[in-house]
Structure 1
Amino acid sequence: MTEDMAVTTGNEDAPVIALVDDDRNILTTVSIALQAEGFVTRLYSDGETALKALIENPPALGVFDIKMPKMDGIELLKRVREQVALPVIFLTSKDDEEDEEIGLEMGADDYIAKPFSQRLLIARIRAILRRADPIREVIGDSSSAVPAAVNEIARGRLNMDPARHHVTWDGKPVSLTVTEFLILEALAARPGVIKSRNQLMDAAYPDDIFVDDRTVDSHIKRMRRKFRSVDNEFSSIETLYGAGYSFNDG
């Protein structure tokens, strides 16, 4: 594949996932994994090549590397979002925390740090597609057939709909990434019970061994900021120093 070539493979009736990364090995291995799960893949080795194609023929979801020549993932997200409401997952390096913050503030749906578990990426893709269109069945994912009302979580002013990864506080929507949703779900499942960072990492990253403590802290920090944007007195996610976090629904 040359730098200016896009490749489309897979079942044409399946959701299309656009992969944008200058690492050819990642493009190849992730594409093979997604095709094995029934997805269609389109591959782009730089942001400039991807931009026009993503706008003219939007996929169901994009997976963008942050660090790329010609046009990085953050600029690509910005340019695409000017024209298309495309769900996006960032692939980042461990030292890209500032870029992650910028990307998430711009509306990226989630990020996964390299090196990463392909099973984790596929699970995130399915979750985001369910959230974007909960009625459409996401291929290979039996959980998408579960009615939303069965799994709804109501804790005081918090309401969570796992089938759509949808969250409200006092009836106001709070836009969380899939990772943030899973961490909050683990906390809200048992109000008042302290969850260690390791327990929260297991909830959000069941197949990913490349996660450190500060990752959970960063997600908690962002979640609090998002809830405080709709309620500046929000304090239901509590820090128990040296122990972990808990959710207070009082």
Structure 2
Amino acid sequence: MTRVLLVDDDQELSAMLKEYLAQEGFEATPVADGETGVAEALSGRYAIAVLDVMMPRLNGVEALRRIRQESRLPVLMLTARGDDVDRIVGLELGADDYVPKPCSPRELVARLRAILRRTDTTDGAAANGDALVVGPLHLWPARREARWADTPLALTSTEFSLLEVLVSHAGQVVSKATLSEKALGRPLARFDRSVDVHVSSLRHKLAPRDDGRSWIQTVRGQGYQFVRE
């Protein structure tokens, strides 16, 4: 069973989610505070973590910050419905996606599976070890590995998936709806800025072109384009 870390001080909700996740093939371990959550997330025992923003001792945003200092473990944030600030900050710090609370267990499972599919390299599509190369960027989808010139890129699973889609269509405009479907595994919702925030993070991790512009260009009203040399 896929091991999931549930970090939430709402013990009744955690117990309910643990039971539901077990029915869906997940083994969930609940912890009730951020400090314990960080320690468990860094233990190497889990495939993914679900992290609530509002918690005692250490809130979810700071917990995510500490996790990202040492680990690329996929993280799904639970945020208050309509709280765009926590949502955007979480994505900027490296959360792979978010679910607004209250959420249905079915939606949570769907988001978990979407993230885990992006990190799974055991299927046939991942068997090809060829690299995607555009300019200084080398991307190995089979290994989920990226290098900029000779420097490894530390990418979250969502950042890698977005970059893979953009590089696969280098020189072409890719709509935000397509990026959301292919990289986040869900339809683009109205007012959802997740793709924009992840692209912004990618731009900071990629060195600029010789002319000072970003390799990822915004095409107003259409989407994003990874430019060719």
Please give the range of the TM-score, normalised by the shorter of the 2 chains: 0.7 to 0.9
CA deviation digits over 1:33-58, x for unaligned, max 9? 54345432211233355456x28965
- Number of the residue aligned with 2:115: 124
Aligned mate of 1:95, from 79, 83, 106? 83
Question: Does 2:179 match 1:175?
Answer: no
Question: Would you say the 8 A contact 1:172–1:230 is kept in 2?
Answer: no
- Number of the residue aligned with 2:96: 110
CA deviation digits over 1:199-246, x for unaligned, max 9? 222222333564635322222111101113899946221111222211
3-state SS in 2 of match to 1:249: coil
CA deviation digits over 1:147-194, x for unaligned, max 9? 2505x4222322222233222222322222222222222221122211
Map 1:127-206 → 2, pairs under 5 A: 127-128=118-119, 130=120, 143=123, 146-149=126-129, 152-206=131-185
Structure 1 regions of 5+ residues with no counterpart? 1-13, 135-141
3-state SS in 1 of match to 2:160: helix
Aligned mate of 1:238, from 214, 217, 227? 217
Question: Counterpart of 2:204 in structure 1: which amino acid?
Answer: R
In the TM superposition, what is the alpha-carbon distance from 1:248 to its structure 2 partner? 1.1
- Number of the residue aligned with 1:138: none
| Superposition RMSD in Å | 3.6
Aligned mate of 2:53, from 66, 79, 90? 66
Q: 1:187 to 1:35 in 2, by over 3 A?
A: same
Aligned mate of 1:226, from 205, 208, 219? 205
Question: Would you say the 8 A contact 2:41–2:49 is kept in 1?
Answer: no
Alpha-carbon distance between aligned partners in 2 of 1:95 and 1:196, rounded to the nearest angstrom: 25
The number of aligned residues is 221
Identity %: 29
